[in-house]
Structure 1
Amino acid sequence: MFERFSETLIKSIIVAQEEAHALGWFVVGTEFLLLGLLSTSEGIAARALKSQGVNFLDAKLAVQKKVGRGPGSGLHGTKFTPSAKTLLKNLALRAKVNNENISSRHLLLALLEIQNESVKPLGALEILREIKVDVRKLQSELLQVDESKIDMPLPPDILPKPYDPTDDALTLEQKIVQWEAEAELCRRVEREALIQADLCRKALADIIE
């Protein structure tokens, strides 16, 4: 059901879970989805938010102030709040019905379009207003985006590695030790990424139950 979500969007959902866990929450609300969108340098949502002066740190501090600390870790039971669940499910249904890919832009527009959660404003909207974002201007910018450029990675800075004379001084044995350490770090990062991806799949699966 979520196969048409872009890689950038999935990454932002994973980060949203991580940010919720860091504050001791086992449920992910729309304010955490907003943090997920801000966490990456990829995706039109992040660019649009940053063009309006929104940065990750300010938003994170506003979220911490709003939700406080939760009762503990929810690494093995992450779910979405009703509003976040409905929002993501609607995006997935849109992808299926219209046969279109869903990007971070679609998620941010959905966060901006929902005006309330019960009686109170939706979490993400409340955070944006708290940090003085012009929501209408942000919506306008998102609606004018060239669809062909959605969620394309920012071009990397391709610079040659500066010459380090100490490289020549390393013995083959030292280089092997260094390579092994780097390989183990990569494996650990990959394992952690797989765990987070699995948590994301389980949380998204809960939406369609």
Structure 2
Amino acid sequence: MFVLFCFVFLMNHISVSASGFDDIKKLPNQMQQEVQDLTKRNIIKGTTPTTFSPNTTITRGQVVVMMGRYIEQNGIAKVDKNWEEMDRFMDMPLRVKDRELLKYSTLLYDNGIFKGENGRLNPYNHMTREQMALTLNRLMVLARSYSLIDYAYDLQSDVVDIQKATKEARPYIEALNALGISNVDTFYPKNSVTRVQFASFLSRTIKLIERNHHVIHFEKQLKS
């Protein structure tokens, strides 16, 4: 557990330029650009000064920190000034060493993005792809007051394994696909998310959030 904690801590605290990551240079250009985008924004950091560890699975705690940085930096929501005085999750005591994780777990809990499992954040557990879809949708709702479904209102999805996902996650997985945030027809909802996959998903979601795009709602007319 100590070794795991140290690894997670390093992943959240090593600040480097994305251009110095030797292990992303063989990735598709779009993925490299998405990692660079989040690095420049100080949302994501490397595991060492020269490595990003793109194929390492991402943990729930790491996702909390990345989303928290984006939300706070862009004024989407404010961290409760008393964040160090009240527990939100049973496994995130106020004395925890990683203060950034504690702060942003408070922010995401208070804004309904991370609900936890039986009162626990489980920060060291891997995040599944269907959990990621739910979390990205909550970020969209917080930032723009519309869901991914609203943005994908007239777009088609071609996800072929949607039945393997929980019912709650299915519409958001299809919306991610329809919007091009996910670009694969086999989504593998139960699989873990890697660092580079999450960087791509988050970068594309942020671009949608920041785009001057209006959501159109259609009213269904009942036949008389």
- Provide TM-score, normalisation by structure 2: 0.23
The higher radius of gyration belongs to 1
Structure richer in helix, relative to its length: 1
Q: Which has the higher contact order (CA 8 A, sep 6+)?
A: 1
